[in-house]
Amino acid sequence: MTKKKLLIGVGAVLGMFLIGFMFYTMNKGNNHPKFQLEDGRTGTLKSEAKASSENKLPSDPEEAAKATLEQSDKEIKSYKDEIKEKLKVMMSNVGSGDIKAQPPYQITERGILTSLSNALVGGYTFDEDSLTVYNSDSKNVKQFTFNMVSEGTYVSYTGNYVTGTGQIQLATMQGSLNIAK
């Protein structure tokens, strides 16, 4: 019995050394970056400070939406009809309570679809004449803005249209929904 315990003990020790050696050889070639925390000073990053002080959005929803675009000075006429038809499909689906992202708007996040659904349920309608299309910094992406109107008030949405796939993505909503009835 003692020989058996001795063999088990020696085997366990050798196994531990073997496992330790394997970890050592696997990690010795990795030069893990070393960093040291400095004092806990707080402050704003330069980019955040710049964004908060210089890039205040206008109070007009349409101007605020336009201010979020990459190239708001480059309005274009092409793609307007394609985008309008895809937005109509989106309005129809979302207005009937189907908030799942699906073609042609499956790249739109659920939160913005919910805000669109709230606007539609609250009596807002798609102002097709307000749809404006712009170039973006990418060749295969066009940006657009449109308004949702209700009894003299409106909110503006911005979005992206991927020309290669025909997908649309709503990106932001500017303004406040006034749906209390």
User: Which residues lie closer than 8 Å to 166 by C-beta, 6 or more apart?
Assistant: 82, 86, 104
Residue 64 CB partners (closer than 8 Å, separation 6+): 57, 58, 156, 174, 175
Average pLDDT value over all residues in the chain: 83
* 60 CB neighbour count, 10 Å cutoff: 14
Rounded CA-CA distance 159/148 in Å is 13
Q: Are 160 and 136 spatial neighbours (Cβ–Cβ below 8 Å)?
A: yes
Neighbours of 25 (CB within 10 A): 9
Contact 158, 93 (CB under 8 A): no
Average pLDDT value for residue range 30-49:
51
100 pLDDT band, cuts 50/70/90, is confident
What distance in Å separates the CA atoms of residue 130 and residue 147, rounded to the nearest whole number? 6
The percent of residues above 90 in pLDDT, for the chain, comes to 41
DSSP state of 116: H
Query: Which CATH number does the domain 66-174 belong to among 1.10.1060, 3.10.350, 3.10.450, 1.10.1760?
Result: 3.10.450
**How many other β-carbons are positioned within 10 Å of the β-carbon of residue 54?**
7
Which of 87-96, 103-112, 158-167 shows the lowest mean pLDDT across its residues?
103-112
- 105 CB burial (10 A radius; 0-12, 13-18, 19+): buried
Which pLDDT belongs to residue 48? 47
Domain boundaries in the chain? Answer: 66-174
Q: Per-residue pLDDT tens for 40-93? A: 554 444 444 444 445 566 678 888 888 888 888 878 999 999 999 999 999 998
| Highest mean pLDDT of the ranges 5-9, 24-28, 168-172 | 168-172
Q: Which residues contact 177 (CB under 8 A, 6 or more apart)?
A: 115, 118, 119, 122, 124, 155
